[in-house]
Amino acid sequence: MYKIALLKNPVQDYAWGSRTFIYELLGKPSPGRKPLAEMWMGAHPNGPSLVSWDRHWIPLAEFIGKDPKKALGSSVARSFSNKLPFLFKVLAAAKPLSIQAHPNRDQACKGFRSEEDRGIAFNAPERNYKDHNHKPEIFCALSSVWVLKGFRKPEECLALMERFGISSLVAPLRHLLEKDKGKSMKPFFSSLLELNREKQGQVTLEVVKLISSHALDDPTFTWVINLTRAFPNDIMALSPLFLNLIRLEPGEAIQISPGILHVYLQGAGIELMANSDNVLRAGLTSKHTDFNELLKVANFSHEALKILKPERKRKGEWVYPSDADEFVLSMISAGRDLSYTSPKRRSLEIMICAEGRSKITDLRTGDALSLNRGVSVIVPAMVEQYRIQGNATIYKASVPMGRS
């Protein structure tokens, strides 16, 4: 019988990760020996969670596969071919990730099929498409987080760069003078990518010399200097000059749509996305980059900045607005005088306690589990109703019932 169960989750030790945040979240000695970057909660084959089942640990996909309708709920099982449609993560960045964008569903299907037809091995470094799914995502800060997301307006980008008279960028900047501003950013960005490594190093060196005395005036310039030190021959170190720089405070979130260039520069948060691992990189990385494919996928239009705040849904639960079909992110807050009782109609849910101590109880059977800091659980759809009591902040991933 399906019941509320504990999860054991894989942790990815990428070089940009933190030696403190995930260690402390999981109650382990900090700082740790190696950087921990992402904890995955889901059924993705590159890092599946294990579920406590009948005194054993089994992969989450196997857990769902025993009876998808009872695990996911009938409508979700039908809509997503009996598979969990989202991947839930804790992300902790001490160093910048790569600048990247994700394809939409049509692009992912075509790209995956093309690489399969060309015989590119699934684990080959030059492989772009690991699956045929898109990857919309939402990111919610657990600490102060610095993010680059989407292109600035061409005139704003031009003003930032012309302020210092960057002679080595005169040719690329001409594109931003085009009358049709809506079409000016792609040729500007392309011209940067076309520079050879030696030229990129010369440009970044010139820019740093010109802006160093202004670094304290604007975090944009501070981040250009930081990125140039870390990636001295990568023109994408100048990305804060043409991508929007955002600082998120705990509890604030952003949504990343397909095609939007973005990079998490520093900080920790909760990340929820469609169950995909398709990434096209522009720079700030030693991993594979495919500029031609990236230019097909990237969205070069300016997007108004929108920081998401959670909206109250019911007593004890606040939901982050999102237009994704695969997932919805909620924050549950339980306190001394405030418990949370779930609705009866639900999909499968995965929860992680970010702060505090609490208890989750199946109201039909009376079975209870401790849901304390760093602990994650899965609540199958067939669990009729549950209650969370204690003093804790919990993040919940589920599938929006109305859209599944």
The label of the residue with tokens 């993560």 reads 89
* 3-state class (DSSP) for residue 113: helix
What average pLDDT does the segment 133-145 reach? 95
Of 152 and 404, the structure prediction assigns the larger pLDDT to 152
* 3-state class (DSSP) for residue 290: coil
| Partners of 283 in beta bridges | 99
* 403 catalytic residue (yes or no): no
Domains in the chain (CATH in brackets) are: 5-147+248-297 (2.60.120.10), 154-231 (no CATH), 312-398 (2.60.120.10)
Lowest mean pLDDT among 1-5, 55-59, 311-315: 1-5
- Checking if the pLDDT of 181 tops 70, the result is no
43 within 8 A of 64, measured Cβ to Cβ: yes
pLDDT at 80: 95
The label of the residue with tokens 């096209």 reads 280
How far is Cα 163 from Cα 402, in angstroms, rounded to an integer? Answer: 50
The label of the residue with tokens 């012309």 reads 162
**Which among 101, 96, 99 is positioned nearest to 145, based on CA atoms?**
96
Q: Convert the pLDDT of each residue in 336-381 to its tens digit.
A: 778 999 999 999 999 999 999 999 999 999 999 999 999 999 999 9
How far is Cα 68 from Cα 303, in angstroms, rounded to an integer? Answer: 38
The two three-digit tokens of residue 56, written as one number? 């054993």
pLDDT at 404: 47
166 φψ region: left (φ > 0), alpha (ψ -120 to 50), beta (else): beta
- Checking if the pLDDT of 261 tops 50, the result is yes
How far are the Cα atoms of 84, 153, 327 from residue 89, in angstroms, in the given order?
A: 14, 31, 13
What average pLDDT does the segment 232-255 reach? 96
297 within 8 A of 103, measured Cβ to Cβ: yes
- Checking if the pLDDT of 390 tops 50, the result is yes
What mean pLDDT, rounded, does the chain reach?
92
Q: Which residues make Cβ contacts (< 8 Å) with residue 230, sequence separation at least 6? A: 95, 96, 237, 284
How far is Cα 253 from Cα 262, in angstroms, rounded to an integer? Answer: 14
Active-site pick, 152, 281, 346, 373: 281
Q: Convert the pLDDT of each residue in 282-310 to its tens digit.
A: 999 988 899 999 999 999 998 788 999 99
Share of the chain above pLDDT 70, in %: 98
Q: For residue 1, name the pLDDT band (cuts at 50, 70, 90).
A: low
The two three-digit tokens of residue 28, written as one number? 């382990």
